[in-house]
A and B are shown apart, each in its own frame.
Chain A
Amino acid sequence: MIYLEMNHVRKSFGDLEVLKDISLKVEEGEVLSIIGPSGSGKSTLLRCAAMLETMDGGDLTYLGEQAVTIQNGKSVYAKPAVLRKIQENFGMVFQSFHLFPHYDVMKNLCDAPIHVQKRNRAEVEAQAEELLQKMGLTGKEKAYPCQLSGGQCQRVAIARALMLNPKVLFFDEPTSALDPELTGEVLKVIKSLAEMNMTMVIVTHEMNFAREISNRVIFMDQGVIAVEGTPDEVFDSENARMQGFLGKFREK
């Protein structure tokens, strides 16, 4: 089943055209990585998919439900009530976590399920305990985000997103704010999600990681998809921009 589909997506900020006719599909259980130089539009694409940015053109569909349709070449969004329903299909993990600093770890995880989804508290807390254990965060229930390391914060943020049982999980450069050691522990968690067949779209600068865990990779450059395919196809591509980009990474 196709979980996420976007067609002909266009997005401009003022005169700057950030996305130029981008189409992509994500199937159930698939891990899609989006790589590319800064300013290529990766994050904007992800934020359009998550409806944090309004796209100018193109459509957006989750599990067959249309969130955005094209009418006369322009994007038309569904009614707010419909969008809110569709939004339950996905969650997002941000580069700088965006945990709620005034809530402890447990409340960060449980507040939305209890007060937004109106689920049973005991059941929600049991799920939270289980997730914290998986994330290696047992014992941190009562800690506040400011008492945690960046890696721990990001793992809490991943757990928080998983609490709502999303069908698709977006990652917007989840390790870019972390040092190499902390990056490792977050990537390990994402890898374990991939092993559980979680459907994920990951914008990342971790090339080895992208190559290892993805089913498919998209290389974006200047607002278009320059190369797309299996990790091997993309990383071994003859595309000049792709080679130039990878070359800079190998030099590091």
Chain B
Amino acid sequence: MKLSMILSQLSTGMAGTISIFVLTLVFSLPLGLLIAFGRMSKNRIVSGIFRLYISLMRGTPLMLQLMVVYFGPFYLFGMNIGKWRFPAIITGFALNYGAYFAEIYRSGIVSMDRGQYEAAKLLGYSKGQTFVRIILPQVVKRILPAITNEVITLVKDTSLAFSISYVEMFTIAKQIAAAKTTMVPFVAAGIFYYIFNFVVAWVMELLEKKFSYYH
């Protein structure tokens, strides 16, 4: 099998990989902020629930979570899960990554100086305005390196979608490797992930530079 053939077959899976990556970020980044608010709630019951949620999401394998999200509706409610595969992957990834992002947001929020809140209060900012105008922009700058870490992990984690038989790039690589007894597709897949992450790191570095106008 020629290299060009391998690459063209792998490329059909790249769209899947990239869409898992993009959609997971689109949903988990805002979700993480909501989870962080829940986790920091003054209401003990609310914060307890979110604490447990984060604990479960971080304490069990993502692969297992994907299976629960995908097969759960069938076993629990007897639902037809034929069209549920891709939505289940995005749901599973977003729920899992939301938990990690929540803790990153929280680390940034609790690291803020109390003085920023006090100054904002005395200038009449409401709580919402204080968060959006004063706190969040500074939090984003602080947590960017940690977010970068997580986003890079996500690129590699997309391959876990194989566990519920979704055909993304790595699934195809495994199929070709098994059929043709060759390591080449794995090498190609590795290079793809590396380039993908190289771009991610480059974009995140640009973002960090954008925030470096103050410290």
B214 touching A101, Cβ below 8 Å: yes
B119 touching A100, Cβ below 8 Å: yes
B110 within 8 A of A: no
Query: Out of A90, A102, A116, A145, which one reaches B125, CB within 8 Å?
Result: A116
Residues of A within 8 A of B137 (CB): 102
Query: Out of B115, B141, B214, B215, which one reaches A98, CB within 8 Å?
Result: B115
User: Could you tell me the distance between the alpha carbons of A99 and B119 in the complex, rounded to whole angstroms?
Assistant: 8
A96 touching B115, Cβ below 8 Å: yes
User: Could you tell me the distance between the alpha carbons of A94 and B117 in the complex, rounded to whole angstroms?
Assistant: 12
Interface string of A85-99 (1 = CB under 8 A from B): 001101110101011
User: Could you tell me the distance between the alpha carbons of A238 and B110 in the complex, rounded to whole angstroms?
Assistant: 48
Q: Within residues 69 to 115 of chain A, which ones have a CB less than 8 A from any CB in chain B?
A: 84, 87-88, 90-92, 94, 96, 98-102, 111-112, 115
A120 within 8 A of B: no
Residues of A within 8 A of B121 (CB): 52, 87
Residues of B within 8 A of A99 (CB): 119
B129 within 8 A of A: yes
Residues of B within 8 A of A112 (CB): 123-125
B118 touching A52, Cβ below 8 Å: yes
Given known contacts A50-B122, A116-B124, A144-B213, A102 and B141 CB-to-CB distance under 8 angstroms: yes
A98 touching B116, Cβ below 8 Å: yes
**Interface residue tally for chain B (C-beta within 8 Å):** 20
Q: Within residues 22 to 73 of chain B, which ones have a CB less than 8 A from any CB in chain A?
A: none
Chief secondary structure at chain B's binding surface: helix
A208 within 8 A of B: no
B116 touching A145, Cβ below 8 Å: no
Given known contacts A52-B118, A111-B133, A115-B129, A101 and B123 CB-to-CB distance under 8 angstroms: no
Of the listed residues A96, A99, A116, A144, the one surrounded by the most CB atoms of chain B closer than 10 A to its CB is A116
B116 touching A100, Cβ below 8 Å: yes
B124 touching A98, Cβ below 8 Å: no
Chain B minimum-CB-distance residue to A170: B122
User: Could you tell me the distance between the alpha carbons of A98 and B135 in the complex, rounded to whole angstroms?
Assistant: 12
A160 within 8 A of B: yes
Please name 18 pairs of A and B residues whose Cβ atoms are closer than 8 Å in the assembled complex, sorted by A.
A52-B122, A87-B121, A91-B122, A91-B123, A92-B122, A94-B118, A100-B134, A101-B214, A102-B137, A102-B138, A115-B129, A115-B133, A116-B125, A144-B213, A145-B214, A146-B214, A160-B123, A164-B123
Q: A90-B122, A116-B124, A164-B123 are in contact. List 7 more A-B contacts (CB 8 A).
A: A50-B122, A52-B122, A88-B124, A94-B115, A102-B214, A116-B126, A144-B214
